[in-house]
A and B are shown apart, each in its own frame.
Chain A
């Protein structure tokens, strides 16, 4: 069965500092991987996704993630945090098959302080 583990339920960084949100997955077959962001009282918005090909994926708002098969990881990074990045971030995995069922991690709440 597939699963997603996000290390650290809360991460706090200073404005301008590196953001690193960790995600490890478990899957018996090559997965599709996603990062979503959720702002207060809003739905989930896609940041980026990995399907096949290049393992370094660039997303919106300056975020990127690297798929490392050997480490079963898909960590999310941003070189310089902005106050507007404060939100809840979810890593998710999906399998081929057309139904796009997403399995989410528990989420990481990112706080950015001045």
Chain B
């Protein structure tokens, strides 16, 4: 059973460019969350998608946007890249249960973005 898969694993961009990262959730999961992990820090919540809608968002600018497809896969888009966007971007999937906040998230290995 495949877990969460992310692509690409590594990429290098220059300031001002745009990037798209992709995520396929674990089989049976319907919710996808994205996290940014800067070097030496803990992951920070970007946003979460469920039923193809953004359900919750962290403190990230509008340059960060996403999408969820009918097959539950997801994309993270970042426009006008800044040097500070260099980080490991983690995708996590889970199965939504209303009112329950302790579902285990399954994380992918991440996409490492370097902005020059």
Contact surface of A with B, Cβ cutoff 8 Å: 4, 9, 32, 36, 41-46, 49, 51, 90, 92, 94-107
Contact = CB atoms under 8 A, between A and B. Distances in A.
Interface in B91-116: 92, 94, 96-105, 107-110
Overall SS of chain A's interface: loop
B20 interface: no
Interface of B: 4, 31, 33, 35, 40-45, 48, 50, 55-56, 58, 90, 92, 94, 96-105, 107-110
A49 B42 CA distance: 17
A45 B90 CA distance: 12
A2 B35 CA distance: 17
A94 B35 CA distance: 14
Nearest to B100: A98
Nearest to A44: B107
A82 B113 CA distance: 32
Contact of B33 (A45, A51, A96, A101): A101
Contact of A104 (B44, B100, B101): B44
A100 B90 contact: no
Contacts of B104: 46, 49
